[in-house]
Every structure is written in C-alpha cells, then in structure tokens.
A and B are shown apart, each in its own frame.
Chain A
Amino acid sequence: MGKRIGLEVSLSAAEAVKMADVDCIAAYPITPQTHIVEHLSELVNDGELDAEFIPVESEHSAMSVCTGVAAVGARAFTCTSSQGLALMNEIVHIAASMRLPMVMILANRSMSGPISIWNDHTDVMSIRDCGWIQVFANNGQEVFDHVLFGYRVGESQKVMLPVMIHIDGFILTHVIEPVEFWETQQVERYLPAFKPIHALHPDRPVTMGAFGMPSMFSEVKVAQDEALIQSKSEIMAAWNELGDLVGRYYRPIETYRSEDAETLFITQGSFGETVSLVVDALRDEGKRVGLLMDRLWRPFPLDEFRQAVGNARNLIVIDRAISYGGQGGPLAMDLRSALYKERNQPNITNFICGLASRDVTIDDFKNMFNRSMEKIEGNPREEDFEYYGVRGK
C-alpha cells in the first residue's frame, strides 16, 4: 500500500501526473486549475519530473501543443477551466478526431458571464460532445487514481482517445484531504510506456489531421464514435486492474444503498459524497432511498445506468448546469432519454442547483427529496425541472 499523505487535491493531482511520467505539460493558468499547473512547473523546475513544461500564451496553444506531443508518440498533460476550455475548444475536438491520447483535468467552473470563478458544470456540458472519454472524480483519491487510469485507457491501442477528468473547482481542487499515493512499482505495472500505432517522425512521414471530403467524412466520424463506444471494455478492464492493484474498484455508475431503493438520487461530481449522507439520514427515517453517482459520462453507460435504476420508482436528478432553453438539466435530459420506452419508467424530478459554488447542504437535499415526493403525486413532466434555492423562483 502506498503512503497516505495529507495534501491539497490540486497538488496530489500534480503528483499523479508526475508518477505517470509525462513528457510534456502545456498549460495556461486559470482559476481554479492554477495550483495543479503551478505545482507541475515546480516539479519540472526542481528536476523531480523530467518533462518539458511549455508555458503557452493561451489555452488554444496549450491544447495545440498537447496534440502535437501526442502525435509524435509522447505523453502530454494539460488542465484548464471554463473560459480556458472555451478558448481551447477548437483543438479539443481535433485531439479526439485525430485519436490522440492525452489526459486533461478540467477543474470545473462556471462559464461566464457574469464573470464567475466558482464551480459548476456548465463548462463540462459545453464540451460534452467533443469525443473524449470523460469521467467524474468525487474526491482527491479518485482524481489521483484517474490520472493514471486516463493514460492507461487512452493509450491502449484498442482505444487511442484523449481522456478528460472532471473535478469540481475549489470544492475539490482547493481542499486538503488524505490521499493514498501509489507505489512506483504499482504505476510501472499499471501503466506501460506509450506505444502509438502511428507517430509523426521525419524518417517515416505520415499525414495526420487530413482533409475529410463529404464522401468520407461520415464514415470517419462514425468510426470515431464507434471507437468511443467500444472504449468501454478497455475502461472496465482498466478499472478492474486498478482495483486489483490498489484495492479501489471503480464503476461507470457508482451505487450507494440503491439495491432495494424506491427513490434514487442521481449526481455527478462532488455532490455524490454529500448526498450519500442524505441517503443515510433518510434511511434512518425509514425511507427507501439510494444514490447513483455517474462516474463515466462519455461514453454514456446506458446499460449500467438502466440496470442500476432497476425497479426504483422515483429518480431525483441533480444537475449543476443549465441547458438554456432546454428540457431540464443536461444530466436529466440524458437520463430521461435512456429510460424512454422502459417498461416501468420511473418518475423523474430534476433540480438544478449549486451554480457558481452556491452551497448545497444536507438539508437542501432533504428538501429536494420532499419536493420530489410532492411533485410525483402530480405526475411530473420533463418541463417541471426546478431551480433550487434561487431567489424569485
């Protein structure tokens, strides 16, 4: 077992990147991602990590550098937040379509405006359809583990895709908590050297990022989608092996006291751990409540989700992002369509809360439970989603 260390989550994330022995870090500082990059620049400067640290002039360049690094068959890391992600957006799509593995931590932050440095998932949802493998981490340990997982899965020749790790800005990035580090030998066993199928090299010219004529474009894009969908078997294998190695087993949909539950909360990110305490409290009151935490966001774990819902009669979906003009929060919309035409379709209520880090307490989640029970008597429809804790609503 590795050493248990108290550390800010951003710093332990950077330490995991070091353990992954990356070749290049290219990043531009933006709150609340900054501490991750700062610590990596220190590690490179101090000679603890033998990597190129490229202090680019923008996030667009950060992702461009990482794309180039991956294209030559080297290991790249970057991280960003909200407006930084928006600025790199163009190349984020390119990295996936070129099938170039790398790991990016997205320290989740509101999309401005008004200007907000605080946490929510509006940046996550802005990039949902970019073709990357995307996972949510709920605590510092999960961030650490998933950095190594990200390279392991992404670089698999059966996958060859970039991996994005979502962590709640401030709520996770700036918290000090214990993290169990991996032993060096464990990392060596888990994460082999990156061997790309194709790599740019002056002696062996290849074309990457070529023009796609309409006669080919659809086939290429469908192949890309299939690659993402099929990556799930490698994702499962990598999680299982991680569990065997360090004793923490991860699943696409994490469940908590859900088996006999009548009502299930469904969360993404750091809300999950708080809601697990709400579940305990409601169980103590005799209510059959459970929790599903979505870990794998893309490829969407359709089968696992349907299975985890099982015979539950009510779902309370907690979204931390707005889909302007949409039919509820982005997570709720995905889950509703996943259950469409299921024989015993559960009632679904949806709450959007915690925007820009607004505190959501155990009592708040209990209120959402009670509100849901009231709504369900009136047959809730998808347009009935509710902004929780917003003045004037």
Chain B
Amino acid sequence: MLEIRLHGRGGQGAVTSAELLALAAISEGKYGQAFPSFGPERRGAPVIAFCRIDDRQIKIRSYVNKPDIVLVLDPSILRIANVAEGLKEDGILVTNTKHKADEIRRELNLNYKLAVVNANRIAREELGLPITNTTMLGALLKANAIVKPDSLIGPIRDRFGRIAERNIKAFRRALAETELAF
C-alpha cells in the first residue's frame, strides 16, 4: 500500500488532488481511498488531505501518519509546518517551490528524496491562478508512477469541465518539468 499525505492551503485543492488520484487508481481497477483532515474549511488556512492506493481493499481508516510520499502544494507551508513528519526513511517529498532541489534540501535540512517544481508559475501561466492541485499531481507522478498519467485525464475532465483542458496542460507540464533529486 502506498500512503500519501498532502499539505496545502484552503482553496488550493489539496483535497481535490487526493480525490483525483484515488479516482485514477480506482479507474485502473485498484483500490483508492482519499479523505480530508476533517474540519471547518477556511480559505488560506493550512489543510491536510490523505490518499491511500493499494491492489487490495483498503481497510485502515486512521490518518496517514507514516506516509510514503508527502505532497506540498504551497511553498509557504514548508516553513510553517513540519511537512516531513513521519515520512518514511525512503520516502519522497514532492513540493511546489521556485527553488532548486539542492537549495530546499539545504534550507530545510532534509535527507529525503526530493521532487521539486515551480507549480505556481505553471499554474499561473496555464490557469491564470496559482491553484496548484492538478499541477502538483504531475509532479507526484514524475516522482512515483503510482498510476498511469492517462488515468488522471478522465477524473480531471469530470471535475473541471470547461477548464479541464487547461488543467490537463498544467498537469502534463509538471510531469515534464519536475526536477528529481533522489
């Protein structure tokens, strides 16, 4: 089972990212489970969401406390929360940042595998807004091919309707532009 914890700010779509990923896995015949850390939602406040993917039925209902992957949708979260808390030793931190992986590693003193992408820039250019949920899914799949990239297209189309194509473009750009430092 692969366990992912997502950090973002209310309104950026961390919960949506988790959901889309689970839906993509389910569409491949796998089991997917996505849920938010439950609370009154406020735009801009730090939020956490969780996603689990497995070939077998997922029975665990507690939070993801020892993730395989941490996905950070907002660069500012890196400095206000210990996003790597509980991340497994061979885990991956995937983050939105304008910095290079080495700079992030030095600044935050992290020994984990890193995957970085300037998702704010991609999202601004493709969507006109720094809403990075679909962009960061591209970075996530570059870091770990949990599902086939094409499996996300259906869920993105269902969710975003007329702005789906722009989201798909942002997703594909991140898939290409993400820097891996493993």
The complex places the Cα of A270 from the Cα of B98 at a distance, in Å, of: 41
Considering the chains assembled together, what is the distance between the CA atoms of A264 and B156 in angstroms? 44
Q: Is the CB of B59 within 8 A of A6?
A: no
Rounded to whole angstroms, the CA-CA distance of A362 and B26 in the bound complex is 25
Whole-angstrom CA separation of A4 from B32 in the bound complex: 12
**How long is the Cα–Cα vector from A277 to B18 in the complex, in angstroms?**
23
> Are B31 and A177 in contact (CB-based, < 8 A)?
yes
Interface membership of B36, Cβ < 8 A = yes
Bitwise interface map of B from 12 to 33 toward A, beta carbon under 8 Å scored 1, else 0: 0000001100110111010111
- Whether B58 sits at the interface, judged by CB under 8 Å, is yes
Contact check, A174 vs B59: say whether CB atoms are below 8 A apart: no
| Residues on the A chain within 8 Å of B58, using CB | 177
Q: How far is the CA of A117 from the CA of B37 in the complex (A)?
A: 13
CB-CB under 8 A from B39, the residues of chain A are 117
B61 close to chain A: CB less than 8 A: yes
Least CB distance from A259 to B in Å reads 20
Chain B residues within an 8 Å CB radius of A56: none
B 24-53 binary contact with A (CB < 8 Å = 1; else 0): 011101011111101110000000000000
B32 to chain A minimum Cβ distance, whole angstroms, is 6
Q: Which residue of B lies closest to A280 (CB)?
A: B59
The yes or no answer to B60 lying at the interface (CB within 8 A) is: yes
Q: Closest CB of chain A to B160's CB: distance in Å? A: 16
Least Cβ–Cβ distance between B68 and chain A, in angstroms: 16
Q: How far is the CB of B81 from chain A (nearest CB, A)?
A: 17
B34 contacts A176, CB within 8 Å?
yes
Asked if B65 lies at the interface with its beta carbon under 8 angstroms from chain A, I say: yes
Alpha-carbon distance between A4 and B30 when the two chains are bound, in angstroms: 11
Chain A residues with CB under 8 A of B18: 176
Q: Which of A170, A175, A176, A277 contacts B23 (CB 8 A)?
A: A176
**Bound state CA distance, A359 and B48, in angstroms?**
14
Chain B residues near A357 (CB-CB < 8 A): 38
Report Cα–Cα, A8/B22, bound state, in Å: 11
What distance in Å separates the Cβ of A289 from its nearest Cβ neighbour in chain B?
Answer: 16
Known: A4-B26, A170-B38, A177-B22. A274 touches B33 (CB 8 A): no
Residue B109 is within 8 A (CB to CB) of chain A in the complex:
no
Assembled-state Cα–Cα distance A25/B32 (Å): 31
Neighbouring A residues of B29 by C-beta, 8 Å: 4
Q: Does A132 contact B (CB under 8 A)?
A: no
User: By the criterion of a CB under 8 Å from any partner CB, how many residues of chain A are at the interface?
Assistant: 28
Cross-chain contact of B62 among A168, A177, A178, A359 (Cβ < 8 A): A359
Q: B59, A274: Cβ atoms under 8 Å?
A: yes
User: Contact between B33 and A175 (Cβ–Cβ < 8 Å)?
Assistant: yes
Chain A residue, CB-CB nearest to B30: A178
> Which parts of A245-289 form the interface with B (CB within 8 Å)?
270-271, 273-274, 276-277
Residue A360 lies at the interface, judged by CB distance under 8 Å to chain B: yes
Rounded to whole Å, the gap between the CB of A273 and the closest CB of chain B is 4
A6 touches B27 (CB 8 A): yes
Q: Any chain A CB within 8 A of the CB of B182?
A: no
Assuming the contacts A6-B22, A175-B33, asked whether A273 and B38 have C-beta atoms less than 8 A apart, the reply is no
Q: Does A292 contact B (CB under 8 A)?
A: no
Which of B25, B40, B59, B62 interacts with A360 by CB under 8 Å?
B62
Chain B hits for A118, CB < 8 A = 38
Residues on the A chain within 8 Å of B25, using CB: 6
Q: Report yes or no: A6 in contact with B23, Cβ–Cβ below 8 A.
A: yes
Task: Say yes or no: A273-B60 contact (C-beta < 8 A), given A176-B23, A177-B22, A357-B38.
Answer: yes
With an 8 A cutoff between CB atoms, is A171 at the interface?
yes
Are A273 and B59 interface neighbours, CB within 8 A? yes
CA distance A248 to B35 in the complex (A): 25
Given contact pairs A6-B23, A6-B26, A177-B22, A361 touches B62 in the complex (Cβ within 8 A) = yes
Cα–Cα distance between A8 and B18 once the two chains are bound (Å): 12
Knowing A118-B38, A176-B32, A176-B35 are in contact, say whether A273-B26 is a contact too (CB < 8 A).
no
A270 to chain B, nearest CB (A): 5
Cα–Cα, bound, A361→B61 (Å): 8
A368-393 residues at the B interface, CB under 8 angstroms? none
Interface CB pairs A-B, < 8 A, 20 = A4-B29, A32-B38, A117-B39, A174-B35, A175-B33, A175-B35, A176-B34, A177-B33, A177-B34, A178-B26, A178-B32, A274-B60, A276-B59, A277-B59, A277-B60, A359-B65, A361-B63, A361-B65, A362-B60, A362-B62
Q: A175-B35, A362-B60 are in contact. List 10 more A-B contacts (CB 8 A).
A: A6-B22, A6-B27, A6-B32, A117-B38, A117-B40, A118-B38, A174-B38, A178-B32, A359-B62, A360-B62
